[in-house]
Amino acid sequence: MPTRQKDTEKKFPFYPVQLFLEAIVALIALGVVISLAILLPVEYGEKANTLITPFSIKPEWYFLWLFQLLKYIPTSVGLGIVLLVVLGLLGLPFIDRGASRHPKDRKWVIVLGILLLIMISVLTILGAIGK
């Protein structure tokens, strides 16, 4: 049978003693990091010019279709179309209140969804190849 060790160490409660000590250590570490960032700033290259946009800049792949759409039509019309599509998708459960959920009975929704996916796919591919 193992013997028990006597608890000769003094125990401190976590709150407020331990929490206060950890907060002090965290604030000291944060102070050191901020001081180093101010005193020894890292320079990666020449400063960016906010007035000149680089020619090769491209959005992430999931926004390529939107930027490509905005190349073909005016900005306000394109953003209005995107807003209507998003609102239409959000409102679709409230618009289509039919009892049947079988795809055969929901042809217009399926056709509209397929056309939307085709449009987004084509615009994404055109944006990726840079046309």
C-beta of residue 124 within 8 angstroms of C-beta of residue 65: yes
Rg of the chain taking only CA atoms, in angstroms: 30
Measured CA to CA, the distance from residue 26 to residue 46 in angstroms comes to 34
* Contact partners, residue 123, CB within 8 Å, separation at least 6: 64, 65, 66, 68, 69
pLDDT in tens, 64-95: 988 898 889 988 898 898 899 889 888 877 87
pTM over 0.75: no
pLDDT in tens, 27-65: 999 999 999 999 998 888 887 788 887 777 788 999 998
